[in-house]
Copies of this chain bind each other. A is one copy, B any other.
Amino acid sequence: MNIALDMMGGDYAPVEAIKGLKLFLSENDDNQVHLTLIGDENKLSPLFDEYQVNSENITVVHAAEVIGMHEHPTKALKEKQQSSISIGFHLLATGKTDAFISAGNTGAMMVGSLYSIKAITGVARPAIGAYIPGDNGQTSLLVDVGLNADCKPENLSQFALLGSLFSKYILNYEKPRVALINVGEEEGKGNILCQAAYPLMKENKQINFVGNIEGRDLLMNKAEVYVCDGYTGNVLLKFAESIYDIVQKRKIEDEYFNRFNFEIYGGVPVLGVNKPVIIGHGISTSGAFNNMILMAKKMIEQDFIEKIKSNFV
């Protein structure tokens, strides 16, 4: 398998990308994974020497440009065809690589996923899943956290299935429970979207729907997949991230709150597009890069995209 890694993406690129790569190579010497490293060769070469990265399982593809973290996604992808993200999607779309990982401009990664890799037939709206640390140690998935600010009820029901498949094949939950995030537990509660999504999810035989949960239940292991629109999911996820920032600032050492360090999970998957795409956090360090490569590897090993396709025929 051939996994492409954007070496120029993220606040600490390319150094942390290289350190993450080194970490992966040191732990995975089975020749199963070939890595295509996309970035500025002039910057990367001396760092490969400095960090003693030397493997026959890596290939460097030169990218003359970089899309900045705050550039307008669509505009940047159009104008910077030689950027690491543009090249990454080109390689993926043309089948030269099997997965693409970047901790760069999130918007550009989303736009590239939708317009270059495209949605799987039958998936109306791809979505992004993020990890939610349950207080019993489990890791749940929150879908969507940003691709779809406005959703239709059918979208939420599809997010439920996409999240369930990821939870099952990548996070190893045999029969993941799916819950709808709402303002009360009873059916009929909530905004118009939730009121309409509930019966669709209840009737959806492809998922294990357990009903509504409230904001207070999100960390309480009530389900393995939590579903909401991308506006709400994004606000919730970023709020949770800020809790970790505060915990750190206040020097609170706690095993559970350490799991609010979303970096430990690597990156978040784009669910419902035709190839594995993983978006890293801007502040990704070596461990996050290593974990993203491992996740891409698992998505390929599990033939995850085919699993989605066969569930959306």
Binding site for B on A (CB under 8 A): 135, 146, 149-150, 181-183, 190-192, 194, 214-220, 228-232, 234-243, 245-246, 249-250, 252, 254, 256-257
Known contacts A183-B234, A236-B236; 18 additional CB pairs below 8 A are A149-B183, A150-B192, A182-B235, A183-B231, A183-B235, A190-B231, A214-B235, A215-B236, A215-B242, A216-B239, A216-B241, A216-B242, A218-B239, A219-B246, A239-B240, A250-B254, A250-B257, A252-B252
Secondary structure class of chain A's binding surface, majority of residues: helix
Which among A190, A238, A241 has the highest number of chain B CB atoms within 10 Å? A238
Taking the closest CB of chain B, its distance from the CB of A252, in whole angstroms, is 6
Q: How far is the CA of A263 from the CA of B249 in the complex (A)?
A: 25
Contact partner of A191 among B149, B238, B250, CB < 8 A? B149
Question: Which partner residue on chain B sits nearest A195 by CB separation?
Answer: B149
Taking the closest CB of chain B, its distance from the CB of A205, in whole angstroms, is 27
Q: How far is the CA of A199 from the CA of B268 in the complex (A)?
A: 32
What chain B residues lie within 8 Å of A231 (beta carbons)? 182-183, 190-191, 194, 232
Total copies of the chain: 2
Q: How far is the CA of A234 from the CA of B256 in the complex (A)?
A: 24
What chain B residues lie within 8 Å of A237 (beta carbons)? 215
Taking the closest CB of chain B, its distance from the CB of A151, in whole angstroms, is 9
Which among A181, A229, A239 has the highest number of chain B CB atoms within 10 Å? A239
- Decide: B192 and A215 in contact? CB cutoff 8 A: no
Q: How far is the CA of A249 from the CA of B237 in the complex (A)?
A: 22
- Decide: A218 and B242 in contact? CB cutoff 8 A: yes
Q: How far is the CA of A256 from the CA of B242 in the complex (A)?
A: 13
Taking the closest CB of chain B, its distance from the CB of A204, in whole angstroms, is 22
- Decide: A149 and B190 in contact? CB cutoff 8 A: yes
- Decide: A235 and B254 in contact? CB cutoff 8 A: no
- Decide: B146 and A183 in contact? CB cutoff 8 A: yes
Which among A191, A218, A219, A250 has the highest number of chain B CB atoms within 10 Å? A191
Q: How far is the CA of A246 from the CA of B132 in the complex (A)?
A: 14
Q: How far is the CA of A234 from the CA of B183 in the complex (A)?
A: 6
- Decide: A235 and B238 in contact? CB cutoff 8 A: no
What chain B residues lie within 8 Å of A240 (beta carbons)? 215, 239
- Decide: A135 and B246 in contact? CB cutoff 8 A: yes
Supply 6 A–B pairs (Cβ within 8 Å), ascending by A. Answer: A146-B183, A214-B235, A215-B241, A216-B242, A218-B239, A219-B242
Q: How far is the CA of A245 from the CA of B150 in the complex (A)?
A: 31
What chain B residues lie within 8 Å of A192 (beta carbons)? 149-150
- Decide: A250 and B242 in contact? CB cutoff 8 A: no
- Decide: B236 and A183 in contact? CB cutoff 8 A: no
- Decide: B243 and A243 in contact? CB cutoff 8 A: yes
Q: Which 4 A-B pairs have the closest CB atoms?
A: A215-B238, A215-B239, A149-B191, A215-B235
What chain B residues lie within 8 Å of A217 (beta carbons)? 242
